[in-house]
Amino acid sequence: MTPEFVISFAQEAIRVTILVSMPMLGLGLAVGLLVAIFQAVTQIQEMTLTFVPKILVVLMALLYFAGWMLEQLMQFTTTIIEQIPFYIR
């Protein structure tokens, strides 16, 4: 294994990780921003008001995108397993 191989392998793993986590993080960020604007406008500073909507939206995003996320992770894992003979050379 060359250093270039290790770097490319790590880059692909990071790319898949970011790609899979992006829908939940993006929706959580959007809801957090909307709740923050709502809190600033109404001057309601309740801590649970920030957590509950974000948790619910992230859970719903996880349920909605679970199939796609699983497909991406399975494709990455399948590629790694298929390439094992080339890795040991």
| pLDDT tens column, 4-24 | 888 999 999 999 999 999 999
pLDDT tens digits, 36-51? 999 999 988 888 888 9
Question: Residue 32's domain spans which residues?
Answer: 3-87
What percentage of the chain carries pLDDT values higher than 90?
71
What's the mean pLDDT when you consider all of the chain?
Answer: 92
Q: Please, what is the Cα angle at 76 between 73 and 80, to 5 degrees?
A: 135
Query: For residues 51 and 35, is the Cβ–Cβ distance under 8 A?
Result: no
Number of domains in the chain: 1
According to the model, what pLDDT value does residue 82 have?
93
Cα angle 58, 36, 62 (rounded to 5 degrees) comes to 5
The structure's pTM equals 0.78
User: Which two structure tokens, joined as six digits, stand for 15?
Assistant: 């790319």
